[in-house]
Structure 1
Amino acid sequence: MFSPTLVPVNGVKLEVFEAGRQNAGKPVVLCHGWPEHAFSWRHQVPALVEAGYHVIVPNQRGYGNSSRPAEVTDYDIEHLSGDLVALLDHYGYEKATFVGHDWGATVVWGLTLLHPDRVDKVINLSVPYPDRGEKPWVEFIEDLLGTDFYYVHFNRHPGVADAVLEENPARFLRNMFRKNVPAAEPEPGVALLNLARAQTPPGEPILSDGELAVYVSAFETSGFTGGINWYRNADRNWHLLADVDPVVRQPALMIYAERDVVPRAERLTDFVPNVDVVSLDCGHWIQQEKPEETNQAILTWLGRHTAD
């Protein structure tokens, strides 16, 4: 990708990749997930620029060469959404279209609830709107999927997963970014940590050796704790969002993957009434596994909503 700059925002510095400045006035902010990087949007950037958009791609706090605060609570939804608001201020925009994948989608949903006046349109991949429900999210997931589910383990055993992933970042990331992964029998322990230590990766690689090297270099520098701390704020976020209007009123596009393990939202239109839904035949890493189809879905939808 293009060369990044370090942008001071909200008390931290974000490593930001930018393209299409000649298209000023039509900003699109791309928000990565875990364990990802701004690089995960490499296939979307040129297509968006060619279509006339000013594309802004931050490594969010905890990732790449962006700041990595020490306090866990510095990664809650108020801080993460505050970074994006400050990024808009830096570029002189009142609002933008925000696109998120995985945890990036969760941040974009939260940003839209906390700062609705700064969000023009919403496009999210893989992770649908998180219905707040009656129980804090980690407790809810623990009841549903048990204590060995990685989301719960990250919260109940601070530092353990971080150390396992950092034993061999190249092996973990190689094993993580796969497609056509066959179904496997459940095994004892935390499946994600078992995957991190597996000598033989499942399925087929999504990344070339050169692309994988970009991720490995980034996480060898940053470690995994910053990104995992996003998970460790799930219940805090549940409380922080208690008193906001839970309805996303902006035009929205939800892109699901048909082979994803992330479940679809049964009540999506209750909370996102102006949503269109697209499904692509792929696994979780949508924009990297099906880049052309992803670009077509995003650009077609944006084209229909340019006058909104």
Structure 2
Amino acid sequence: MTPTLPPIPLPPSIRSRYVEDINGLRMHVLEAGFESKGRPCLLLLHGFPELAYSWRKVMPALAEAGYHVIAPDQRGYGRTTGWQADYDGDLHPFRLTNLVRDALGLVSAFGYRQVDAVIGHDFGSPVAAWCALIRPDVFRAVVMMSAPFGGPPSLPFNTADAPTRPQAEDPVHRALATLPRPRKHYHWYYSTREANADMHRAPQGVHDFLRAYYHHKSADWKANKPHPLKAWSAEELATLPTYYVMDLAKTMPETVAEEMPDPAVIAANRWLPDDELAFYSSEYTRTGFQGGLQWYRCGTSGAFNAELQTWSGRTIDVPSCFISGKQDWGTYQRPGVFEAMQTRACTAMIGYHLVDGAGHWVQQEQPAKVSLLLLDFLRKATAAR
């Protein structure tokens, strides 16, 4: 029996509901534009450490434009249940192709054979990209936000007479650890056994941990001045802020605590006031972080690259768009991917936009601008089909 949970602080035009039997999940969904039938559908996919709630500021505008807007708590998150996040458990349910299956099952449950666009932010961005790559007949346009998509992993070629050797561990991690200021990449930290407990039992508490984390990655942290990196090397990666390339001996709560905003800055925050942050912190206090961390582990383990190589050489051919904050390092954190997305991975890219006054949480920091960009893209994508 599902415990009674407190209501979600939502605008009146958004409702919270559950949808049963979605690829083994009881999926919690936020929904706008549900008042009338026959509307075109948009699917919004959040990232880490976020929730469907992260879309609350753009959903009303999209619904007012005539769309049925669906935003789930994804597998491993929030009020969606049916997943297990034991560190020693099975990672297969969290691999990208199964997350696409979750998305496909959800829109099918609502009766849609096609959706006008799938829109993903942060780790939701690669899920959205893979939705469009694998099922372009269903997901007829895609918006990737804050995490560019460089295409599927390549298959090895010309190996009949010179077999490939097993891939060695990426030497960049050893190089990072031996820098004069030893560092580590946050993806690999998030893949450790300790990461969930570090954050779930943060010395400052989950609420203050999330406050500092969101602040550090936002445009409010004035040192966020991103630029392209020259190479995937320890020296270049070490120029990233510590929320991406951490000091070797520090946890994420210790890392962001150094940039905790003072009470006056918190009180002045309009894009994430404390009562809204309290919803995130209450949900993560209840669930922990391991469900989302499993996604990172799927990537860093390399265990599912062979499956993704099934689509090697395939491109995203539906209309596509990229939106990020101008102060968001996520656009450049993996050298060359932003450029590869525009030149190779997407063949029908309508635009890419870096929104000034936004860091990583672009649809929360600048919701009016993002809403306008999304609606403009949807108009152009419809005209292009």
Matches within 5 A, 1:297-308: 297-307=373-383, 308=385
Return the match for 1:259 from 298, 319, 327.
Answer: 327
| Aligned residue in 1 for 2:314 | 246
1:141 Cα deviation (Å)?
7.0
Q: Distance in 2 between matches of 1:139 and 1:91?
A: 43
Q: Name 2:292's counterpart in structure 1.
A: 227
Q: Which runs of structure 2 are paired with 1:140-289 in the superposition (5 Å)?
A: 142=173, 148-155=184-191, 157-158=192-193, 160-167=194-201, 168-178=205-215, 179=218, 180-183=220-223, 187-190=247-250, 192-198=252-258, 200-201=260-261, 205=269, 206-234=271-299, 235-244=302-311, 245-262=313-330, 263=332, 265-268=338-341, 269-275=343-349, 276-281=351-356, 282-289=358-365
Alignment match, 1:69: 84
Structure 1: stretches of 5+ with no match in the other structure: none
Deviations along 1:161-197, one digit per CA (max 9) or x if unpaired, are: 1001101211211111123214378745346342355
Contact persistence 1:249–1:272 (CA under 8 A): yes
The worse-fitting range, judged by mean Cα deviation, of 259-268 and 102-111 is: 259-268
Superposition CA RMSD, Å: 2.5
Q: Secondary structure at the match of 2:137?
A: helix
Kindly provide the amino acid, as one letter, of the partner of residue 130 in structure 1: G
1:76–1:237 CA contact under 8 A, matched in 2: yes
In the alignment, residue 87 of structure 1 is paired with which amino acid?
L
Instruction: State the distance in 1 between where 2:131 and 2:175 align.
Output: 27
Q: In structure 2, how many angstroms separate the alpha carbons of the residues matched to 1:174 and 1:187?
A: 20
> Cα distance, 1:287 vs. partner?
0.3
Offset from partner CA, 1:67-111 (integer Å, 9 cap, x none): 232333221112211110000110111121100000000111122
CA shift in 2, pair 1:242/1:133, >3 Å: closer
Please give the alpha-carbon distance, in whole angstroms, between the structure 1 residues aligned to 2:91 and 2:208: 26
Rounded to whole Å, the distance in 1 between the matches of 2:171 and 2:315 is: 21
Task: Mark the CA change 1:187 to 1:150 in structure 2 (over 3 Å): closer, same or farther.
Answer: closer
Give me the whole-angstrom Cα distance separating, in 1, the residues matched to 2:122 and 2:174. Answer: 22
Q: Distance in 2 between matches of 1:17 and 1:54?
A: 11
Aligned in 2, Cα 1:34/1:182: closer, same or farther, shift over 3 Å? Answer: same
- Structure 1 counterpart of 2:328, which letter? D
Q: Are positions 1:19 and 2:32 aligned together? A: yes
Provide closer, same or farther for how the CA distance between residues 141 and 214 of structure 1 changes in structure 2, counting only shifts above 3 A: farther
Specify the alignment match of 1:88 in structure 2: 107
Higher deviation after alignment, 109-118 or 197-206: 197-206
